[in-house]
Structure formats: C-alpha cells, structure tokens
Chain A
Amino acid sequence: MVRELERRTHGLERRLRSWEGFLLGILVVVVALNAVVAPGYLSLPNQINLFQLSVEKAIVVLAMAFVIVSGEIDLSVASVMGLAAVVLAWLTGQGVATELAIVVALLVGCLCGLFNGFWIAVIGLPSLAVTLAGLIGYRGLARLLIEDRSIGGFPQWFEDLGQRPLIGPFPLALIIFAIMLVGATVLLQSSGFGRYVYVLGNSVQVARFSGVRISRLRFGIFAMSGFVAALAGVLLAARLGAVRGSTAEGFELDIITMVLLGGVSIFGGRGTMPGVILSILLILNLRNGLGLANVTGNTQTGVVGVLLILSVLIPNLVGAARTRFAREQPAAVAGPGMTQLE
C-alpha cells in the first residue's frame, strides 16, 4: 500500500516535472527562433520592453494562480483592473491628489475582492457565477463613472513611473513584478498558507476535516486577487497615461491561459509557481516573436486560444494513451483499480 502510494506520488512528480521541462523546451526553441530572426532580440532593452508591454497581466497571473490552485476561478480580474484605473483617473480629474487616488483605487480593488469573497466563502455560491457577475458589474461601474470619455491628465511623475526606468534600466512595474514573483513563489510553495491552498484545491472535504478555516482562506484569496488586480490596473493607467471605460477589457483570457498553460489544473490542487513563470515567459516571447514575424495582434490572440486548449488536451491525450498502453500489457504492471486511478 505504502509502496503503491509512493510510486503514485513519484509518478505525479515526474509528470509535473516533465510538464515544466516541456514548457522550458518550447521556451528555449521560441527564444532561439526569435533571436535568429531578429538580431538584438536577447538584448536587455528589448527583453525589458517585451516584458513591460504585458507586465500588468503577468502580475495578475501570480494572484490568479492562487485562486485556481484553490479550486476556484476569478473571471472579474480584468474588470477590477479597469475599475481601479477608472477610479484613479476620475478622482484625479476631480482634483484629488494622485497619491490619495491611488490608495482609494487599491481599496476599491480590495473591496471588489472582498465582495466576491463574501458571496463565495460566506454564502457558498459558485465562484464562476459570482465572478461572472463581477466581470459584468464592475465593468458597468467603471462605465458609469467615466461614461464614454477618455480621461488622462495624470501628473508627470505618475506617468514617468509607468513609462520610464526607475532603477537602472528597470521600470517600476517590472520591479514590483519581480518582488511579487519571489513572494508568490515562497508563499505558494513553502508556506503554511500555500499548503492550505493546495489542500483546499485537492479536496474541500479533506481541508474541512483537517481543520483548515475554509471560508477565511477563500476570503483571503479573493481579497488578494482583487487587490493585485487593482494594483495592476493602477500600473496600467500609469503606463498608458489615459483611461477609458474599456481599459483592460478581455484581459482575463490571457491571464487564465497563462495560469493553465503553466500546468495548473482548472479543478485545483495541482500546478506550481515555476510552471506558471515559465508559461508567462513563453507566452510573452511567443507573442513578441509572432509580432516580429508580422503576425497581427488578432492572430496572436487566436494562437493564445489554441494554446489554452492544447495545454489541457495534450496531457489528457498522453494520459489516455498511457492508460490504454497499460491496459494492453498483461496484469503484471497494475490491476484494474490502478488504471482507473490513472
């Protein structure tokens, strides 16, 4: 029994490792191709530029990984990004100091997250429905505030933060991302909080019987997701210099794709932060490479859509093929119970 368990966890570990290895392999190929096609691709300025164009999404990906590992989903992140950016711009337009407006925008994001969390954790509603309502509702609030105008007019220092390098060649958003990346990796992979997130994602029953405070945990995860989305929205406003009602619309597709491609299971409980980071790097480099090859942004979105489906389909097909192979072998390898568990 113990041996069997050991073998199974070993198999799982191997599979996870191979998924990350797979991502790394593709990443190397993509980067190598790009470097051959475009000289100077690997230079630091180009890499920073490439990262800067999607860094806000990458920041939200880090929080979304926690949400999905815990077995939930947050479809409202792009709308929270938009709402935070709109609140910031609107308050600035009303003459409020930008520093204060930033704090309010972040608080609004937190409130959105807490609002989602309340319905999911306390009332027990499915996160898919709640955050779908959030996706529509928060975007509606943003539109209500800004109607069909485009608001800019941020102070110079704020736009500089978004557009100019802060320390050395690195802009603020990139530094924030790097810090959060380390924090998120430690938090998910080696803290008690991270363990709880995995337990919750694997089995709500087990989590409950192990004394995990489920609703508090869910509350925390969604509040974090809202806060991080708002932070990303503020950074986006700083980079763009102007905000409209449709700012960040549709970002949830890219964000969820990056998390799932990183090997995180949509059913929760599986996936690692290193995988997610590799998948962020892969998608950014891929989009950039496609751009270099004169592929339009529209087609790039299509490629991301295909990737999203393939990232789940391929492991499934491999698994099915493996099961069939195991079944064709005489019972020496495993009994029928094992094949079912696979």
Chain B
Amino acid sequence: MPRLPRHLRPEQLRELTLVLIIFVVVAFFATQIEGYLSARTFTRISTSVAVIAVVAVGQTLVVLTRNIDLSVGSIVGLVAYFVGTMLSNDPTIAAPVAVAVSIGIGAALGAVNGLLVAYGRVPAIVTTLGTLALYRVALVELSGARTVTTDALPAWLLDLPRATLISLGAIDVRPLVVLAVLIAICFQLGLRYLPYGRRLFAIGSNPEAAQVAGFPVERDVLGAFVLSGALAGLAGFMFLARFGNITVTAGQGLELQVVAAVVVGGVNIFGGVGSAIGALLGATLIDLLQQSLIRWLQVSEFLRDAVLGALILFAVASDKVILGRLRTIGVRARRRAQEVPVAPEEAGHGA
C-alpha cells in the first residue's frame, strides 16, 4: 500500500493532476464551444502558450532559489522593441544574430537583477519591483513613443510563427511551440541531473545549509537570474515574431501570468520544490483557460482575470493542504521502511 506514494513523488502527482485537469478543461469547452476541437484551436493556443512557457521556465529557476523575478514582462517588452527596431533599420541581419542579441540583452538585464539580489543582498521582490519599473521606463525613453510595425520587419521573421515544422494529421506544429517544449525538456533534465540544477533545489530548501555545505550560493543565484533574463530575452524575440507590431506597452503584465503559471505548475513560492515541466503545464492550463473563456459566449471576456486570480489561490491552497499531507505520508512511509532492520538494501532503495 505505501508503495504508491514512495514511488510517485508528490511533484509528479502534481504534474499528472495538471495533465488531467487540462484534459477535463478541453473536454468541457469542447461541449460548450462549437468547432472547439479543431487544428486551429490547437495552433492558436499553443502559439500563445509558447511565449509564456519560455519565460515561466526561467522564472522556475529563480523561484526554486526562494527568489522571484517580477521584471520579466519589462525584459520581454524591451527586447522585443529593441530587436524589432534593429531589424527594421537593417533587414539584412541574419536570424541567428537577432536571436543571439535577444538572449544577450535579456541575460544582461537579468544579471543586473542577479547582482543586486545575490551580492547586494537586496531582496528579490524589492529589486525586481524596481527593475520592472526601470526597464519599462528605459523602453519608453528609448522608443520616444514610436512603434515597431510589421511592414518594416524582414519576411523571414514574419513567416516564422506561421511556418509548419511537423504536421500530425491536420495539426500543424509551429516552430515556436517546438522551441518552447524543447526548452522545458532541456531545463527539466538540467534541473534533475546537472549539479547546478541540484544546487538550485538545495539553495531554495535551506539557504543557510547550502552556504554551510560550501555551495557557491551567490554565484548560483546570480546564474538563475541570468538564465531567467536570457529566457525572457528569447521570449521577447518570440513575442516580436508573433505580433510584429510592438508598442511601448509590449509584455506589460506578462510577469503576473508567468508567476501564476509557475505557481499553478506546482513550483513552491518558498523555493526548493518545482519543475520546468510543471511550469510548462501551468502555463498551458492558464492560457488554455484564458483563450477558451474569451470564446465562450456564456461569460464576459472580462471574467478571465478573476478566474486567473482564483486559479492561483486554488493552486497554492491545494499545494499547502493536499501535497503537505501527501508529503508527510511519504516521509512516514520511508521512515517506516528504514526502521525495518531486516531489509537495509530496500530501505536504501526507497530513500
């Protein structure tokens, strides 16, 4: 009987539940909206999830270390605008250069956050609330209220979000979606198997213990912010490709959706628990709900923010109540297994 909680960690249970909820939501809206289960719905929702998911994976790294990055929305906007202007002025710039510049700017902005948090010892919420305003101000000042428009952008960029990478029957998978999923998988593996990934968990679970254990806590936290910034920069590029028209308000409020995605995805806001796949699933659920609510005629489209708020509360509360209980059951089961003196190998196996 205690086999199940021992082999299925609470986090994995959380991810499975999310997948289940996503299916239920899809099934519900399929009965409510005519022609909902179509390739077009998939394309529309998956493309819009992609941008949020990439930022959410970066946010996961930061939240794992018991920090938060509220400046990501402004980074996405700043990068989208800057790279958009660059490409409008010189359409001959190669695609890899544009992507590299996006990631580079994002990483630099993330490094500012990281330096302040890790070495300046300014709490993350203070730092990134400040840079949220600062980066947006920088964008408004630099732009002079001009906008980037689609007709000035090179054709390859505009074709990118509409291109089809793989066709599964009628469903076309867009390159941006593949990119987002690949990023989530890579970071999931990195978090699970790389020493750096394990250290992020250790720092978030107990910063003092991580320090005492001799981990380079400051450097690792800085790294998490740089990666978060870099992924936000990449998302800025994707944002530019997806929308084409970039105003100074681009990406405003995105940080709320991203934090919501991360929290719904089972990343503990107090650090130490979470996964990149969880963040991807959280982003998917949130965007699925938002996009579907707009098309559902029964309710006003203005309901979606209220729903999003309720969803965050529900996710955090279920984390606290249900997962907390499951975890104690799991710990108890493991302890019981270790107490049995006859089978030491099995106890080692379980732990």
Interface residues of A (CB under 8 A from B): 73, 119, 123-126, 128-130, 132-141, 143-144, 147, 245, 253, 256-257, 260, 266-267, 298-299, 301-302, 304-306, 308-309, 312-313, 316-317, 320
Contacts and interface: CB of A to CB of B under 8 A. Distances in A.
26 contacts: A123-B320, A125-B316, A125-B320, A128-B125, A129-B316, A130-B316, A133-B309, A133-B310, A133-B316, A136-B256, A136-B260, A136-B312, A137-B305, A137-B313, A140-B305, A140-B307, A140-B309, A147-B300, A301-B133, A301-B137, A302-B137, A305-B130, A305-B131, A306-B134, A313-B120, A316-B121
A298 B138 CA distance: 9
Contacts of B321: 123
A253 B134 CA distance: 11
For B260, B270, B305, the residue with the greatest tally of chain A CB atoms inside 10 Å of its CB is B305
Interface in B302-343: 302-313, 316-317, 320-321
A305 B137 contact: yes
Contacts of B309: 133-138, 140
Contacts of B136: 301
B68 interface: yes
Interface in B233-269: 256, 259-260, 263, 269
Nearest to A73: B125
Contact of B123 (A130, A139, A312): A312
A338 to B, nearest CB: 18
B308 A137 contact: yes
A266 B305 CA distance: 28
Given A133-B309, A137-B313, 17 more contacts: A123-B317, A133-B260, A135-B256, A135-B309, A136-B312, A137-B310, A139-B305, A140-B303, A140-B309, A144-B300, A253-B133, A257-B130, A302-B134, A305-B133, A306-B130, A309-B126, A312-B123
Contacts of B304: 140
A124 B133 contact: no
A125 B305 CA distance: 21
A19 to B, nearest CB: 16
B159 to A, nearest CB: 33
Contact of A144 (B122, B259, B302): B302
A253 B172 CA distance: 42
Interface residues of B, number: 43
B234 to A, nearest CB: 24
B69 to A, nearest CB: 13
B351 to A, nearest CB: 28
Interface string B118-148: 0011110111011111101110110000000
Q: Which 9 residue pairs of A and B lie closest in terms of their CB atoms, listed nearest first?
A: A137-B309, A140-B305, A140-B306, A302-B137, A305-B133, A133-B312, A309-B130, A305-B130, A308-B130
B86 to A, nearest CB: 22
Contact of B316 (A126, A138, A140, A245): A126
A64 to B, nearest CB: 13
B305 A143 contact: yes
Interface of B: 68, 116, 120-123, 125-127, 129-134, 136-138, 140-141, 256, 259-260, 263, 269-270, 300, 302-313, 316-317, 320-321
Contacts of B129: 253, 256-257, 305, 308
B317 A308 contact: no
Contact of A309 (B127, B270, B300): B127
Contact of B138 (A128, A302, A309): A302
B116 to A, nearest CB: 6
B44 to A, nearest CB: 22
A70 B19 CA distance: 38
B303 A144 contact: yes
B120 A316 contact: yes
Given A132-B312, A147-B300, A266 B320 contact: no
Contact of B313 (A119, A299, A302, A313): A119
Nearest to A298: B140
Nearest to B316: A129
Contacts of A305: 129-134, 137
Nearest to A300: B137
Nearest to B304: A140
Contacts of B263: 129, 132
Nearest to A307: B130
A135 B133 CA distance: 17
B302 A126 contact: no
Nearest to A116: B313
A125 B317 contact: yes
Contacts of B256: 132, 135-136
A123 B121 CA distance: 30
A157 to B, nearest CB: 31
Given A123-B317, A136-B305, A140-B309, A308 B126 contact: yes
A256 B133 CA distance: 13
A114 to B, nearest CB: 14
A140 B306 CA distance: 4
Contacts of A126: 269-270, 316
A313 B127 CA distance: 9
Contacts of A124: 320
A299 B256 CA distance: 23
Contacts of B120: 312-313, 316-317
Contacts of A128: 68, 125, 269
Nearest to B112: A309
B243 to A, nearest CB: 21
A294 to B, nearest CB: 14
B25 to A, nearest CB: 18
B306 A266 contact: no
A140 B257 CA distance: 13
B302 A143 contact: yes
A147 B269 CA distance: 32
A141 B300 CA distance: 11
B287 to A, nearest CB: 14
B308 A136 contact: yes
Contacts of A299: 137, 141
B126 A267 contact: no
Contacts of B306: 137, 140-141, 144
Nearest to B312: A133
Contacts of A301: 133, 136-137
